[in-house]
């Protein structure tokens, strides 16, 4: 049975800056993109492009990263070696057989005329491949199979089976030689580029996988990320302690819990109080947990979801002549349609219906949130600056009300960026307008015109 594809559309990827874009700024991918090898970079991007929906597969990746993080492994992928081996393996004219005469002739011609670039590449490629095999052998010796998590046991078995395969019996004797003869070179080349080609490619893939896991574990330690815990409970859960936004310098952390009895979080707060950043930190962590990676929190326990949909930085669809409000409505309709496929989703709306007048925004938000509140599966986060909506929703039991704290000190707003229980009544919009002196600028202009 094919695995369900995790729903993560373009709007969500852009909202959360999952991948680098043309607008600059940080991306989630770049947090972990400190891998050594080119193949590791490609594998990292592949992982980000395919979030998992199977709890066992997610846990296997988490456990592999955790093991390598705690084991302080000495295995270090060599970028130059891997790149050269990849180049070597792509050489034309595969050695389908071993000919002693041809091998001697080729080496002699290279010695006399020094014009056979392929022979140099072959010699270097063989040497680097021997080094790779030795490093992988050392990895298997340093890590007892019985103590390894499932993914690393699989890698261990593949490495061991390859090195013990009859075709690879000559590796140990040849790699021990200081200098290979012409026939030795021919045999090794025949093994690596023909007989054992597919096995070498698989071993390279293991190196890239280890490169990613080791790097991700190290980055988690450096940045204070934790590995998520996949919930085994029957009901859905999403529990954060010490959650923070990974792009913010010296961030403030917060706690939040979702469960079946409280599956909607309604967030209010003044402008610039940190609502959007908080919503993004939740969404980024949900995404990272679905790829089995560390998250920006001190603790996270989560169910496995079928998708993540956010509406945070929604732009007008000018090409189709749609207003911002119509684009918002279309987005909400998209969410409702997707939830017909699966209600096991995390949905986040930041400032719902900001593209219309306050009365329509109020009525539309109240209607949509009330409708979503009837769904008992899936988790929703909705932020707004229209606090009156929250009061009208106060009697709905499965909605938890939170606000981002802000206060005035000496007539100046102060933001703690802490998530508090309840509904805020703080409004800073008019203070910001007054503080910028806009009215005074206009009055000064009128004075000049008189």
Selected residue with higher pLDDT from 271 and 286: 286
Looking at the fold, whether 399 and 275 belong to one and the same domain comes out as yes
67 and 174 fall within a common domain: yes
3 state SS of 206: helix
For residues 411 and 358, give the distance between their C-alpha atoms in angstroms, rounded to a whole number: 27
Distance between CA atoms of residues 219 and 286, nearest Å: 18
Are both 403 and 256 inside the same structural domain? yes
Is 310 inside any structural domain?
yes
- Do residues 210 and 287 both lie within one domain? no
Tokens representing 447 are 């004075």
316, 330, 347, 352 from 333: Cα distances, Å: 16, 5, 12, 13
The SS3 assignment for 314 reads coil
Residue 269 placed within a domain: yes
SS3 224: coil
Residue located via tokens 């072959």: 122
Residue 356 CA to residue 354 CA, distance in Å, equals 6
pLDDT surpasses 50 at 112? no
Q: CA triplet 14, 17, 23: central angle to 5 degrees?
A: 80
- Taking the C-alpha atoms of residue 59 and residue 53, their distance in angstroms, rounded to an integer, is 11
Last residue of a domain, which of 184, 207, 223?
223
Condensed to tens digits (0 to 9), the pLDDT of residues 316-366 reads 554 454 678 888 899 999 999 998 888 899 999 998 888 788 888 899 999
Q: Is residue 335 part of a domain?
A: yes
Q: Give yes or no: residues 162 and 27 share one domain.
A: yes
Q: What's the pLDDT tens digit per position in 42-52?
A: 999 999 999 99
pLDDT in tens, 178-235: 888 888 888 999 999 999 999 999 999 999 999 999 999 999 999 999 999 999 888 8
Does residue 217 sit in the same domain as residue 252? no
> Is the confidence at residue 122, as pLDDT, over 50?
yes
Q: Are residues 308 and 233 in the same domain?
A: yes
Confidence at residue 113, expressed as pLDDT on a 0 to 100 scale: 45
Among candidate residues 223, 240, 259, the one where a domain is terminated: 223
Q: Which of 206, 229, 233 is nearest to 58 (CA)?
A: 229
- In this prediction the pTM is 0.90
Max intra-chain CA distance, the chain: 103
Same domain assignment for residues 208 and 329? no
Asked if residue 402 and residue 306 are part of one domain, the reply reads: yes
Choose the final residue of a domain: 223, 246, 267: 223
Is residue 1 in a domain? no
Residue 24 vs residues 30, 302, 354: alpha-carbon distances, Å: 12, 31, 25
Domain CATH number, residue 183: 1.10.1420.10
Whether 217 and 294 share a structural domain:
no
Residues 171, 279 within the same domain: no
Q: Is residue 123 part of a domain?
A: yes
- Count up the domains in the chain and report the number: 2
What CATH number should be reported for the domain holding residue 406? 3.40.50.300
One domain, residues 292 and 184? no
- Domain of residue 150 covers 10-223
**271 occurs within a structural domain:** yes
Is the model's pLDDT at 74 over the cut of 60?
yes
Q: Is there a domain that residue 131 lies in?
A: yes
């Amino acid at each position: 049975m094919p695995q369900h594809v995790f729903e993560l559309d373009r709007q969500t990827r852009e909202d959360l800056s999952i991948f680098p874009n043309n607008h600059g700024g940080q991306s989630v991918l770049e947090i972990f993109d400190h891998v050594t090898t080119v193949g590791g970079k490609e594998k990292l991007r592949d992982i980000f492009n395919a979030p998992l929906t199977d709890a066992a597969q997610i846990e296997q990746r988490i456990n592999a990263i955790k093991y390598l993080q705690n084991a302080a492994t000495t295995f270090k992928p060599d970028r130059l070696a891997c790149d050269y081996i990849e180049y070597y393996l792509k050489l034309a004219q595969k050695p389908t057989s071993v000919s002693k005469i041809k091998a001697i002739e080729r080496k002699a011609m290279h010695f006399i005329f020094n014009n056979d670039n392929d022979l140099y590449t072959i010699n270097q490629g063989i040497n680097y491949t021997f080094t790779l095999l030795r490093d992988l052998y050392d990895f298997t010796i340093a890590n007892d199979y019985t103590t390894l998590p499932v993914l690393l046991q699989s890698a261990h078995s593949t490495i061991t089976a390859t090195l013990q395969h009859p075709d690879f019996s000559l590796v140990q004797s040849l790699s021990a030689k200081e200098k290979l003869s012409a026939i030795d070179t021919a045999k090794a080349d025949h093994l690596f580029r023909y007989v054992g080609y597919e096995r070498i490619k698989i071993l390279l893939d293991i190196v890239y996988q280890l490169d990613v896991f080791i790097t991700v574990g190290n980055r988690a330690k450096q940045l204070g990320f934790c590995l998520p815990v996949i919930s085994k409970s029957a009901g859905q859960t999403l529990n954060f302690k010490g959650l923070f936004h990974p792009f913010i310098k010296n961030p403030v952390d917060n706690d939040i819990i979702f469960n079946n009895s409280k599956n909607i979080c309604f967030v209010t707060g003044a402008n610039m109080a940190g609502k959007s950043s908080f919503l993004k930190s939740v969404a980024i962590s949900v995404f990272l947990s679905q790829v089995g990676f560390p998250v920006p929190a001190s603790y996270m326990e989560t169910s496995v979801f079928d998708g993540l949909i956010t509406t945070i930085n929604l732009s007008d669809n000018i090409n189709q002549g749609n207003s911002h409000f119509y684009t918002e409505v279309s987005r909400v309709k998209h969410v409702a349609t997707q939830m017909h496929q699966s209600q096991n989703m995390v949905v986040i709306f930041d400032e719902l219906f900001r593209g219309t007048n306050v009365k329509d925004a109020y009525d539309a938000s109240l209607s949509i949130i009330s409708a979503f509140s009837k769904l008992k599966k899936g988790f929703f986060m909705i932020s707004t600056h229209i606090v009156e909506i929250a009061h009208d929703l106060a009697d709905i039991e499965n909605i938890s009300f939170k606000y981002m704290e802000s206060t005035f000190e000496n007539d100046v707003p102060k933001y703690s960026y802490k998530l508090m229980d309840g509904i805020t009544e703080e409004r800073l919009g008019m203070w910001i307008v007054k503080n910028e002196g806009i009215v005074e600028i206009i009055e000064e202009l009128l004075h000049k015109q008189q």
